[in-house]
Amino acid sequence: MLFAIFFGAGNLIFPLSLGQAAGDQLVPAILGFLLTGVGLPLLGVIAIGMSKNEDVQTISAKVHPVFGLIFPIIIYLTLGPLFAVPRTGTVSYEIGVAPLLPEFLRTTPWGALLYSAIYFGVTYMLSLNPGKVVDRIGKILTPVLMVILFALLVASIANPIGTIQGPLAAYEIAPFFKGFQEGYLTMDTIGSFIFGLIVINAIRAKGVDEPKSIAKVCITAGLIAATGLALVYVGLGYTGATSVSALGHVENGGIIISQVSHLQFGIFGNLILGIAIIFACLTTSVGLIVACAAYFNQIRPSISYKTYVLVLTIVSALISNVGLTQIISFSVPVLVAIYPIVIVLIVLSLMGAIVGKRNSIYTWSVLFTGVVSLVDGINAAGIELEISKVFAEYLPLFSLGMGWLVPAIVGGLIGYLFSLRTSKVVLASE
C-alpha cells in the first residue's frame, strides 16, 4: 500500500529526466533524489503515525492559527488542480496516447484537447461516487504496471540503447543537492501529510492501536516500500542516463520512457505500457480530486461536494492542456518555496517528545525557513531579488538550494529560548 501511494505513474518521468541530465554524475544525483523522493515521504507518514491523529491542518496550526488555515489550502491546491492532477492527464497522454496518434493529431493541440475532455470527463464521473471501482482498478493496474516496468528496466539494463554521457551544467558542481531538489517534483513528501492518516487507519484496521506499535509498523513497511521505490528509481535513472546518445536530451521523462519502450519492444510495448499508465493515472486523478473536494467541502460546507468536484476537474483539465513540460516548469518555483517548510514540519513532528508543546519552536523555525525558501522560489521563477545577492554571500548552502537549512535550525533555537521565557512567566504568575 505504501509503495502504491508513493509511486504514481507521474513519478516515472522524473528519475528518467534526472538520469539524462546527470549523466556520469548519476550516483550522487540519484542519492539526493532518493532522499526527497523516498526517505522524506516515508518519514512524513511516520510523523503522522507518531502525532496521535494530527493532520496537516493541526500540525500547521502549531505555527500560527492563520498559517494553519492557509498552508493546508496551498498544499491541497498543489496536490490537486494546479499541478498534480493536471500532470496525471499530461503524463498519460504523452506516454500512453500521443505515440499511437496520427501525426496531425500528435503535432497539434487537438489530440491533447480531445484526450483531456475524455480523461477528465471520466475523472469527474468517478469522483462523484468513487466507490470500489477505482479501488479495484488500482489493485489490478498497479501490479500490471510494475510487471511492465520491471520488464522495461531489465531490458534497459541488460541491453541499454546507448552509453552514459557527461552531465549537463546544472549537475557538474553539486549533483547531490541538484538531485535533492529534483525530488521535490514527485510531491510525495507533501502527499505524506495528506495520505498519512489513510495508512495509519489501515494499520489500525489490522488491530494495532498503540502509537509506538503503529510507528513500528510504519517503519517496517516503510523500509520494504523504500527498498522497492529506490530500486525502481535507480533503474529509471540508469535508463535515462543511457538514453542520451540514442535520443539526445529531450523535453521530459514522458518522451524518454515512450521512446525507450518503443525501441525495446516496438509498438506493442507502447500499447501495453500506455494502457497501464492511463488507468494508473486515472486512479490517482480521482483519488486527489476526491481528497481535495472533501477537504474544501469540510472548510466551506455551504458549497456542495459535487460543485467542488466539478470546479476542480474543469480547472485541472484546462491546466493539463498547457503540456507536461510547462506544468513542470510552473510547479518548480512553488515546490521550491513550500517544500522546505514541509520538511521542517515533518522533522519537528518527529521530534515531538523533545519539542512537546513548545509551539514557538514551530513558529520561529518555519518563519526563518519560509523567508529563505520564498526567495529561492522567486529565484526559480526567473526573478532575481536584491536580497538574493546578500543571501548568496552570507548564507551557507544558499547557492546549492539549501540556504534554508541553517535559518531553520537558528529559528528553532530562538523558538526554544522564547518557550523558556514563556514558561518562566507562567510559573511566576502562578
- At residue 217, what are phi and psi to the nearest 5 degrees? -65, -40
pLDDT single digits (tens) 147-160: 888 899 999 999 99
Cα–Cα nearest to 324, from 87, 7, 17, 84: 87
For the domain spanning 2-331, the CATH number is 1.20.1740.10
Residue 427 confidence (pLDDT): 38
Average pLDDT, stretch 303-322?
Answer: 96
Note whether 1 and 202 are within 8 A (CB).
yes
Question: Between residues 270 and 121, which one has the greater pLDDT?
Answer: 121
Looking at the predicted structure, is the pLDDT value of residue 210 above 50?
yes
* Winning range, highest mean pLDDT, from 5-19, 293-307, 415-429: 293-307
**Which of 349, 373, 369, 368 is closest to 359 using CA atoms?**
349
Query: Sorting pLDDT into bands at 50, 70 and 90, what band is 78?
Result: very high
Q: Which three cell numbers stand for residue 8?
A: 504514481
Residue 304 CB neighbour total at 10 angstroms: 11
Q: What percent of the chain has pLDDT over 90?
A: 57
The mean pLDDT of 215-226, rounded to a whole number, is 83
Poorest-pLDDT segment among 127-131, 160-164, 384-388: 127-131
Could you please report the per-residue DSSP string of 56-111? HHHHHTTT-HHHHHHHHHHHHHIIIIITHHHHHHHHHIIIIIGGGS-HHHHTSHHH
pLDDT at site 226: 86
Q: Is the pLDDT of residue 55 over 60?
A: yes
pLDDT, residue 284, reads: 85
pLDDT at 133: 62
- State the average pLDDT over residues 348-352: 88
Q: Looking at the predicted structure, is the pLDDT value of residue 426 above 70?
A: no
CA 183 – CA 171 distance, rounded (Å)? 14
DSSP three-state, residue 243: coil
Angle (CA) 109-112-117 rounded to 5° is 120
pLDDT at res. 422: 67
Say which amino acid occupies 234. Answer: V
Look at 419 and 21; give whichever has higher pLDDT. Answer: 21
CA atoms in the 13 A half-sphere facing the CB of 288: 33
Instruction: State the pTM of this model.
Output: 0.90
50-54, 98-102, 332-336, 404-408: segment of lowest average pLDDT = 50-54
Which DSSP category does 38 fall into?
A: I
Would you put residue 129 in left (φ > 0), alpha (ψ -120 to 50) or beta? beta
**pLDDT score of 329:** 92
Residue 161 vs residues 167, 259, 272, 301: alpha-carbon distances, Å? 18, 10, 20, 54
Residue 425, pLDDT score: 43
For the ranges 60-74, 135-149, 337-351, which has the lowest average pLDDT?
Answer: 135-149
Range 17-42 average pLDDT: 95
pLDDT 10s digits, 181-202: 999 999 999 988 887 777 777 7
Task: Give counts: helices (H), strands (E), the chain.
Answer: 21, 0
Q: What DSSP character marks residue 400?
A: G
Residue 304 CA to residue 336 CA, distance in Å, equals 33
Q: What percent of the chain has pLDDT over 70?
A: 95
Measured between alpha carbons, how far is residue 305 from residues 84, 126, 127, 394 in Å? 20, 13, 10, 49
- Residue 209: partners with Cβ closer than 8 Å, 6 or more residues away: none
Q: Where are the domains of the chain?
A: 2-331, 351-422
- Report the mean per-residue pLDDT for the chain: 88
**Which DSSP helix (H) or strand (E) runs through 178?**
helix 175-182
pLDDT in tens, 290-305: 889 999 999 999 999 9
